[in-house]
Structure 1
Amino acid sequence: MLSRIALCLGIVLVTLLTDDVDAADNLDRFEARTYAGAGGEKLNYRLLKPKDYDPNKKYPLVLFMHGAGERGDDNKRQLVHGMNDFASDEVMAKYPAFVVAPQCPNGKKWVEVDWGAAKHTAPEKPSISLQLTFETLDAIAKEFSIDDKRIYVTGLSMGGYGTWDSIERKPDYFAAAAPICGGGDVEQAKKLTKLPIWAFHGDKDTAVKPERSRDMIAAIKAAGGEPKYTEYPGVGHNSWTATYRNPEFYAWLFAQKK
């Protein structure tokens, strides 16, 4: 019996180690970069390029916005959640695309609002980090061959708020959005009726109330939109793992086009 238990534990350990190696290999595919704004501000970001990039072709671009726990200046931590999935052999082969993962500095937010509030009003101007992100996307579009009809945004937790804020500020810029366990300004939902949106949340989330996603979806529908919404039963704050590992998510996202 003990030998069987030891064998099982060994298999689990090998599996975990293999997953870690695979994750490291995939994340190494992201190039470390820094954008410098005109005012001297800087934004660290990682860039995943399509395999066998051909400048004569146009490629979709995905903006990924990380959560609060991945803030910093190491230009690495923002890849912890979801990015290993985007950089997998399967996804890269099936959906050649650029993936941009900026890192929000410590003490900053993608959108400067209270995450615990039942609702919020969007600030008049984007946060410094979000503004630098928009500028970074413009710079990448000048450097590489980007399909401006297939620019997508997704993010989790703090990045879910950032995703909602981004599309409320630039509803005509993005071709689709997938906010995960975040919240937006419901008063601006009318701007989003024509934008393909698939939102996700766990119904047991205590960090960001599921009502934040529910309210946004309800407001968009009330304004005439048809957003998709998935609420995971029995799931807490981590509603991103199931989302980014779901093949249907990628099929839906990359099928969207302006």
Structure 2
Amino acid sequence: MTRRPLLQALLGAAALGGCASPEPAQRLALSLDLGLSGEPSQPLWLDLPAGYAAQREPWPLLVFLHGSGERGTELAKVRVHGPAKHIDQGTQRYPLILASPLLAAGQSWQPRRLQAMLRALQRDWRIDARRVYATGLSRGGAGVWDWGCAHPDTLAALVPVCGYGDASKVAVLREMPIRAYHGAADSVVPLARQQVLVDAVRAAGGRPEFIVYPGVDHNAWDPAYQDAALLPWLLSQARP
């Protein structure tokens, strides 16, 4: 695998809620060779938690998939919404590795590339294979559903925000911990498009959680990623 650091910024203790740490968190911009013949490398942000180098045990991994508006060649756009935004603002600490890949213009998230990216990350970083989580918003929420359906034995939990997908495929997620979010007044991805997925998982015997925000339009991600219950719930999930 080829790693090409484009930018590395150390986030001091002040950016992590004032908690002192001998080793601050690290923000890395990388380009991963996915090992897929004829396909381009994968640009992404990798946020390493404070204490990563000192702790030899593997860390949980959260993969964040952005929406349509951030597609293209500008990696900085990936940090406009979602977990990376809250890390940059100092409003959230994530005691895990955060991977935020960039999707090319006109493309959708492909489970095959996401799996290849995961394998590439696992080769170079200490990742707990039992605690790999996926979250994303809008087109990224759809990517979370698709990835989970294609590889239900890889991911430990799904957090799709204003997502959508194919209800005929989600029965394989009946044992998957899922915490989905949506705005009741969403005019871009209507609530019904994700409700049908949640209902199909429940009909198959699953118990997904579905948090719906009354009066909220498409931007359900700000309240979702500020949900105080989300991170503890996520970190409690692990594959058997």
Residue 29 (structure 1) shift = 4.6
- State the SS of the aligned residue for 2:75: coil
Residue number in structure 1 paired with 2:7:
none
**The 10-residue stretch of structure 1 (74-83 or 169-178) with the greater mean CA deviation from structure 2:** 74-83
Match of 2:150 in 1: 169
Which residue does the alignment assign to 2:27? 30
Q: Is the 8 A contact 1:66 1:159 kept in 2?
A: yes
Q: Are the structure 2 counterparts of residues 178 and 150 from structure 1 closer, same or farther at C-alpha, using a change threshold of 3 Å?
A: same
2:70 pairs with 1:73: no
Report the residue type matching 1:132 in the other structure. Answer: R
Decide whether the 8 Å contact of 1:48 with 1:87 is kept in 2.
no
Q: Give the Å deviation of 1:175.
A: 0.6
The TM-score normalised by the length of structure 1 is 0.78
Separation (CA, whole Å) in 1 of partners of 2:203 and 2:75: 40
Name the residue aligned to 2:22. Answer: none
Question: Residue 107 in 1 paired to residue 87 in 2?
Answer: no
C-alpha distance 248-181 of structure 1, shift in aligned 2 (>3 A): same
TM-score (norm: length of structure 2): 0.83
SS of 2:215's partner is: coil
1:52 aligns with 2:51: yes
Letter in 1 for 2:230: F
Counterpart contact for 2:134–2:157, Cα < 8 Å: yes
Name the CA distance, whole Å, in 1 between partners of 2:47 and 2:56: 18
Residue 36 of structure 1, CA deviation: 2.0
Q: Equivalent residue for 2:85?
A: 84
2-structure distance, mates of 1:250, 1:36: 30
Which runs of no fewer than 5 residues in structure 1 stay unpaired?
Answer: 1-21, 111-126
Q: After alignment, is 138-147 or 48-57 more displaced?
A: 48-57
Partner SS, residue 206 of structure 1:
coil
> What is the distance in 2 between the residues matched to 1:136 and 1:162?
14
**Of residues 135, 143, 152 in structure 2, which corresponds to 1:154?**
135
Aligned counterpart, 1:10: none
Deviates further, 49-58 or 208-217: 49-58
> Residues of 1 paired with 2:169 and 2:88: CA distance?
33
One-letter code aligned to 1:70: E
The percent of aligned pairs where both chains have the same amino acid is 34
Shift of 1:84: 2.2
Partner of 1:217: 198
Residue 132 of structure 1 deviates from its aligned partner by: 2.6
Are 1:198 and 2:198 counterparts?
A: no
State the match for 1:229 in structure 2. 210
Task: Return the alpha-carbon distance in structure 2 between the equivalents of residues 90 and 180 of structure 1.
Answer: 19
> Aligned partners of 1:87, 1:147: CA distance in 2, in Å?
24
Provide the residue aligned with 1:96 in structure 2.
95
Greater helix percent: which structure? 1
Aligned residues: CA RMSD:
2.0
Q: Does residue 1:181 correspond to 2:162, yes or no?
A: yes
How far is 1:56 from its partner? 1.6
Question: In structure 2, what is the Cα distance between the partners aligned to 1:87 and 1:248?
Answer: 20
Letter in 2 for 1:33: L
SS of residue in 2 equivalent to 1:150: strand
Q: What secondary structure sits across from 1:76 in the alignment?
A: helix
- Does structure 2 retain, via aligned residues, the 8 Å contact 1:29–1:87? no
Shift of 1:105: 0.6
Which residue in 2 is equivalent to 1:142? 123
Answer with 36-45 or 222-231: which moved more.
36-45
Unaligned stretches of 5+ residues in structure 2: 1-14, 17-24
Larger proportion of strand: 2
* Pairing partner for 2:222 from 235, 241, 247: 241
User: What is aligned with 2:20?
Assistant: none
Is this contact kept in 1: 2:71–2:104, CA < 8 A? yes
